[in-house]
Amino acid sequence: MFEPPADMSLPEMERNLLEFWKREEIFRRSVEQGEGRPQFTFYEGPPTANGVPHWGHVLTRVAKDVFLRFHTMCGRFVPRRSG
């Protein structure tokens, strides 16, 4: 069974990873890499079409994110625009 090192801090690792993504502009670069490739367009409605946001909106946001990431990994250009 895997035993993590005693000095391992998952919150610190996540902060370091987020800082790396920010510093290296990973998200922006991932979108730019798709330019010129076949485009995948995903039209979504307003984020709170049914009123005040609540925990039930999480599932639809996750599903939308999964579709966009999947098509990006398949080599399509997926511009991100909310609304």
Where residue 83 falls among pLDDT bands split at 50, 70, 90?
A: low
Domain coordinates in residue numbering, the chain: 10-73
Q: For all residues of the chain together, what is the average pLDDT?
A: 84
Q: What is the pTM of this model?
A: 0.63
Alpha-carbon separation of residue 75 from 32, 65, 80 (angstroms): 12, 16, 15
Q: How far is CA 11 from CA 2, 7, 22, 56, 77, in A?
A: 19, 12, 16, 26, 32
